[in-house]
Structure 1
Amino acid sequence: MTQKVSRWVRGVAISAIAGGLAPVAMAQVEPEASAETLAAQWETYNQYAVSSVMELAPMRAAAEVATPEGGTIRLTSLHPEVNRWYLLEVTRPGQGTQRFHLENADADTWSLALEGGETPGLVIAGNGGQEVCQPWDGAPSELGAAAQSGLPYAPVCGQKIYLRNRVAGSRTNREAVSDFLRQNVVFGDKLVNLIKGTFFEDAFLEDAATVEQGDAGDAVAALGVARLDRRPIMRPNMSIEVIGAEGGMEAGAWYAVDGAEGVFASALKPAYIANEILSERNGANWLDGVEQNADVYLVAFDLGQFELGYELGTDHPGLGWSSRPQRSGQDWNLAGPDGISRADPLVRNGMLSPSLTSRAVAAFAGGFKRDHGAYRFSDYATFNKGHHYGFISNGVTFSSLIENLATLYVTVDGEIGMKTWTEADNAMVPDLRYARQNGVAVVRRDPETGQSVPGNRVNSWGGGNWSGSADAQLRTLRSGACLREIDGRQFLMYAYFSSVTPSAMARVFQAYDCDYAMLLDMNSPELTYMAVYRQNQDGDGLEPMHLSSYMAESDPWSDDGRIPRFVGFSDNRDFFYLLRKE
């Protein structure tokens, strides 16, 4: 424990009073926590259950000042190294406490602190200077007006901070949000959300026309080509435009995406995969004739050029219990597997921060909602509270990461990884910025042979919690992601499978030599949504290019055409996003 705590507090000033806050007499008070406080918070974090999501932020640090009328103002940084989310609590005598979830509009530039004295204020420092604002003062106060604005992100303190407001995903006041984006955000005029598609097997199966001979243009040299026995030319049903494929795309080859540097696209059918992969009896089933000819579309991102982030939807995934595992004993007295079912006092608003919009390159749906994100069958249903999938956003754990589950994560230092979570990995939690779990490994790198091989539960419907139909028919539309390192360059691949089983997913990821791959979501283009963004022809907005043309139906219409999900309106589903590095 001592070694862990010493790592956590690097760069953080330690209060002279163990566990205490900086003294009120100081003119400026920065959020800080002592080693003893951090140790106590970590101990609470690891309890069987907690009473608030705040207790799932073990790195939190606080500052507090008194007000002249006898109240207090408390500022809590949810994770000082992430420096994005803060909880502001204003307590007035006889009026109780108001709580505001704030987001730092530029975490790389601004830092937040409190100023005491006769006129307490919120100090925003950066770029060699600082300014002080009092957003809680006045009638109405700036915070009060922001809370009534109807905006998912309402600017305060000169737009250096946003108040995160509760909104209804897919039902937000579009006119108010559109006006705000149009006036305050680069590309704001072209940026929303939507509703659901239809669920049934093979409904969105795509079978592109192919030509055995043809010139598909040059493949992207850095990624090479997939291991296939046939390389016909495909004309896929994707709206992503690539360079050098005027006559179609050669199966398994990679092409640079037009207007999106560092992004590449590929397509194939599982039937083309090398027989040496398909014939292996290493944990994957034989592929049937339908999935052999179902289109698979992929996009790869050179992670040397991008940051990866993760945002929760307004509703999904939830924090309560899934209906799948059986509960026993004290679990029946808990609101959820972590003891909570709500994120209060924090706000989930299902939308990319407006301050990040100008750097947005892509977004894709995150994964299963809570009811499907736990085990009903197999051994995993019988321990770890049924293995509810965990997730972390901006350094705050909303649902604990569970061992045995496939996990995509980002550290505070920007390292991106994907692995099967272990009990020992829990020591990484204080250093995590984002994480999302979803099922078990689709493929992994065999440490002995160095080969990409199927995960050990790929052919088990209940054992992998692969879902599908009630009678265990596994073939359906699915999406997944994998990481691959090539000569020191790391790539994140997102794959859209128009109608496959987990076994077919594994064979595809093997053909692309993935180090590790995991399932994301399934059953409809809305739930497997993925779009790459580029500037439109007028240079005043973002144009979405969808991995499958069916996904465009998830973007609602505006006067200027369709507006991409996640970027301009709150959505009820969680999502990953990629930003171009500054």
Structure 2
Amino acid sequence: MINPGSLAPDRAPFRKAASLLALVAGSAVMAPAPAAWADTMAPWYMPAADRAAQFAEFREDFRRTVIEFQPFRAELNGIGEDGTPLRLISLNPYVNAWFVLETGEGRSLRQWHLENAAPELFTIALSEDGRSLQIESEAGTVTCAPWEGELEAAAAANIPYSPICEQRMFLRNQGSGSRTTREAVTEFLRGYVPFGESLINLIKDTLYEDAYLTSAQTMDEAEAGAAVALLGTADLRSHPVMRSNLRVDLVGADSTAMEAGSWYAVQNAPGIYASVVQPGMVSQEVLSVSGANGLDGVENRSDVHMWAFDMSRFDLRYEIGTSHPEVDWSPRPSGAGRDYNLPGPDGFGTVDPLNMTGMLNPIFMDRLAGIFAGGFKRDHGAWRLTDFAYTNHGHHYGFVVNGVVLSRLQPGLATLYVLQDGTVQMETWSEDLDFLLPHIRFARQNGTPIIEPDENGVGVPGSQVRSWMGGNWSGSAEAQLRTLRSGVCMRTIEGRQFLQYAVFMSVTPSGMARTFQAYHCDYAMLLDMNSLDLTYSAIYPREAGSEDFDIVHLDRRMAESDSRHRDGTPMGRFIEFSDNRDFFYLLRR
């Protein structure tokens, strides 16, 4: 049964985190904490001493499950009407997104991975008598007992996200990517607006209000021009007109004749901008900054395609694939960097009973703006040599999904993370940032920085850009350091934040650094490499008021990674079928 003391949350840790975050972000003023951050803790209160002990265990090395690994988990116990024992585990009550429901015990134990449809709105708990799930929001309270048949039906539906409890929650089913599953998901997508219309309207009206409707409008040329002027042009020695494999409708321009280093607003995609360049066009002033190697002739002439996203308009989110990145050992670490007594560097070698869908939740389709592929798979996501190979279990790249730490964030690694309030940050992780962990909703690490700020806050080549092993840069299948690569950078202009994603057709880390330097990036990191399916990116323009959207790839050849419906129309990767690789996605606010 529920402990009555659970209704008195300790909010001091959040207030401290908010205050420290203001210092980390360099902001003089921090907005008041969203009410949901504190309110969602109410049913999940845990004494401070217990929380501290649980977090201390998180830092230790021993065999455990991914659930036992979670440093902020809390649980409520109850019993069903038929006497079935119930345990509801919130994997991170601060983030309030993922839960594991356990029904039965012993050999009859079943574990169900549940997702809150709107963590910002819904508080999930067991009812006071412990006999049902209780979902509270400003719209009222919904109670349900999905273990009385609804969970079984949701599992049998064979779709990655199966709605339960009046669409307030989803049962997450493991994605497979099979043709049968793809068709099942397609049918689900075709009907998602009728089934989820009340939920979608609730999210819009309660969470975004007029801001959601405003951001859905097409920008006029004056507004687009103002943003383009703010972005400025890259620091190049010349700005020739380029014809590239980027084919997109632009505001007031033709994508077949884009001036190198300039930004162009994308038609019917407010807040998204496109640019093309080649590393050999970078100015001598940029090249004179130390920290990168010289570029060869091939690298100088290789095309770079880039999106910029105005983050005042978008929420950034992250999902891992059905297979990658994994949580077991990379084969790279050895000696002191590997503990053969553990199935993985964090004490577990599988995420069971959690289910990785490998695709976007379809309720977000009407808000979807863009997607880009994630980072290295586990095999390549750790060090083979240098001190990083022999400490912290080889510094496996960490990642967090919906507040659940699936792999520890390692100090010294480039990290892109999103806080619960939507704040997006890129920086090199350190233990000084661990206080943020309760409120990190999404995070992904991938090597060391391509660009990092100098003592004056100006972006310069990262300290390991010239070190192949030090930066763990990897290469092509032929062991060539120059290869197709993707990367992401953050740039803040007059307090306005832009996230820039780029695909480089054939470069070294030095070529990436020089290009991101020329585009005035504050911080940049590598993502994946070697093929267009591993560096996949697409945006989804749509006319104002229309449910239909186009799929526009950063390189038109990326369309080969998409599948096809039976009628031959494109089936978008990550959004209409499960994929084995991880990805980031941007939703309109």
Query: Which residue of structure 1 aligns with residue 340 of structure 2?
Result: 332
Q: What letter corresponds to residue 105 of structure 1 in structure 2?
A: A
Query: Which residue of structure 1 aligns with residue 257 of structure 2?
Result: 248
2:465 is aligned with 1:458: yes
2:127 is aligned with 1:115: yes
Query: Which residue of structure 2 aligns with residue 304 of structure 1?
Result: 312
Query: Which residue of structure 2 aligns with residue 161 of structure 1?
Result: 169
SS in 2 for 1:459: coil
Q: Deviations over 1:365-422 (max 9, x none)?
A: 1100000101112222121211110000110100001111110011122211111111
Q: CA deviation at 1:57?
A: 2.4
Q: Flag the 1:80–1:475 CA change in 2: closer, same or farther, 3 A.
A: same
SS in 1 for 2:78: strand
Contact 1:66/1:116, CA 8 A, preserved across alignment: no
Q: Deviations over 1:164-209 (max 9, x none)?
A: 0113246662221111111124899xxxxxxxxxxxxxxxxxxxxx
Paired residue for 1:72, among 85, 92, 105?
Answer: 85
Contact 2:336/2:393, CA 8 A, preserved across alignment: no
Q: CA deviation at 1:60?
A: 2.0
Query: Which residue of structure 2 aligns with residue 43 of structure 1?
Result: 56
Query: Which residue of structure 2 aligns with residue 211 of structure 1?
Result: none
Paired residue for 1:341, among 336, 346, 349?
Answer: 349
SS in 2 for 1:517: strand
Q: Deviations over 1:86-114 (max 9, x none)?
A: 1111126x762211111111222222222
Q: CA deviation at 1:435?
A: 0.6
Structure 2, unaligned stretches of length 5 or more?
A: 1-10, 18-35, 197-224
Q: 1 CA distance for matches of 2:229 and 2:583?
A: 30
Contact 2:76/2:87, CA 8 A, preserved across alignment: yes
Contact 1:240/1:532, CA 8 A, preserved across alignment: no
Q: Deviations over 1:238-278 (max 9, x none)?
A: 13322122261111010101111011111111111101222
| Larger helix share, 1 or 2 | 2
Contact 2:307/2:500, CA 8 A, preserved across alignment: yes
Q: CA deviation at 1:5?
A: 8.2
Query: Which residue of structure 1 aligns with residue 418 of structure 2?
Result: 410
Query: Which residue of structure 2 aligns with residue 380 of structure 1?
Result: 388
Q: 2 CA distance for matches of 1:500 and 1:441?
A: 16
2:139 is aligned with 1:128: yes
Between 1:389-398 and 1:534-543, the stretch displaced more is 534-543
Q: What letter corresponds to residue 52 of structure 1 in structure 2?
A: T
Q: 2 CA distance for matches of 1:550 and 1:5?
A: 46
Q: CA deviation at 1:330?
A: 7.5
Q: CA deviation at 1:161?
A: 1.3
Q: Flag the 1:476–1:171 CA change in 2: closer, same or farther, 3 A.
A: farther
Paired residue for 1:439, among 428, 443, 447?
Answer: 447
SS in 1 for 2:511: helix
Q: 1 CA distance for matches of 2:540 and 2:46?
A: 40
Q: CA deviation at 1:535?
A: 2.3
Q: What letter corresponds to residue 55 of structure 1 in structure 2?
A: E
Q: Flag the 1:264–1:63 CA change in 2: closer, same or farther, 3 A.
A: same
Paired residue for 1:173, among 181, 187, 201?
Answer: 181
Query: Which residue of structure 2 aligns with residue 23 of structure 1?
Result: none
2:578 is aligned with 1:565: no
Structure 1, unaligned stretches of length 5 or more?
A: 16-29, 189-216
2:363 is aligned with 1:352: no
Q: What letter corresponds to residue 132 of structure 1 in structure 2?
A: T
Between 1:564-573 and 1:94-103, the stretch displaced more is 94-103
Q: CA deviation at 1:85?
A: 1.1
Q: CA deviation at 1:126?
A: 1.7
2:69 is aligned with 1:56: yes
2:586 is aligned with 1:578: yes
User: Counterparts of 1:223-302 in structure 2 under 5 Å?
Assistant: 223-246=231-254, 248-280=257-289, 282-302=290-310
Q: What letter corresponds to residue 390 of structure 2 in structure 1?
A: T
Q: 2 CA distance for matches of 1:171 and 1:144?
A: 22
Paired residue for 1:11, among 38, 48, 57?
Answer: 38
- TM-score calculated relative to the size of structure 1: 0.86
Q: CA deviation at 1:50?
A: 4.9
Q: What letter corresponds to residue 108 of structure 2 in structure 1?
A: G
Total equivalences in the alignment: 532
Between 1:310-319 and 1:467-476, the stretch displaced more is 467-476
Q: Flag the 1:55–1:427 CA change in 2: closer, same or farther, 3 A.
A: farther
Q: Flag the 1:384–1:471 CA change in 2: closer, same or farther, 3 A.
A: farther
Query: Which residue of structure 2 aligns with residue 34 of structure 1?
Result: 47
Q: Flag the 1:218–1:51 CA change in 2: closer, same or farther, 3 A.
A: closer
SS in 2 for 1:348: coil
RMSD: 2.6
Q: Flag the 1:484–1:219 CA change in 2: closer, same or farther, 3 A.
A: closer
Contact 2:40/2:123, CA 8 A, preserved across alignment: no
2:496 is aligned with 1:489: yes
Contact 1:41/1:59, CA 8 A, preserved across alignment: yes
- TM-score calculated relative to the size of structure 2: 0.85
Contact 1:458/1:464, CA 8 A, preserved across alignment: yes
